[in-house]
């Protein structure tokens, strides 16, 4: 019985090991003042799975770290768009 319980606990504790934290950079071109990043940051932090969001006015970017088992890039873009600040994934060559 102890072995069964131990096995069950170990398998549950390793379940989260498959989660991967990803970091993406979003362009938020419609931010037009220095306080806009506060609204964008709050909208991103309200998305389940977002671990960190750093939003800057100059340049107009949001760097977001998130658990890819709980959310995705489309949800992040939707969050900023719903807050009034449409965003898009920054391409590597910009």
pLDDT one-digit tens code per residue, 8-59: 555 555 555 577 899 999 999 999 999 999 999 999 999 999 999 999 999 9
Residue 7 has pLDDT above 80, yes or no: no
Q: Give the tokens for residue 7.
A: 């096995």
Mean pLDDT of 62-68: 98
With tokens 């939003």, the residue in question is 55
- Domains in the chain (CATH in brackets) are 19-89 (3.30.70.100)
Task: Count how many Cα atoms sit within 13 Å of the Cα of residue 36 in the half-sphere of its side chain.
Answer: 21
Contact 59, 21 (CB under 8 A): no
The model's pLDDT over 69-94, given as tens digits with 9 standing for 90+, comes to 999 999 999 999 999 999 999 986 55
pLDDT confidence of residue 81: 98
């Amino acid at each position: 019985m102890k072995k069964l319980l131990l096995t069950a606990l170990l398998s549950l504790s390793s379940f989260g090991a498959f989660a991967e934290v990803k970091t993406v950079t979003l362009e938020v071109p419609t931010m037009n003042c220095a306080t806009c990043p506060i609204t964008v940051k709050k909208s991103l932090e309200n998305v389940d799975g977002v671990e960190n969001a750093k939003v800057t006015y100059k340049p107009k970017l949001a760097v977001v770290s998130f658990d890819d088992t709980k959310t995705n890039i489309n949800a992040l873009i939707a969050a900023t768009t719903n807050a009034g600040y449409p965003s898009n994934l920054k391409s590597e060559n910009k």
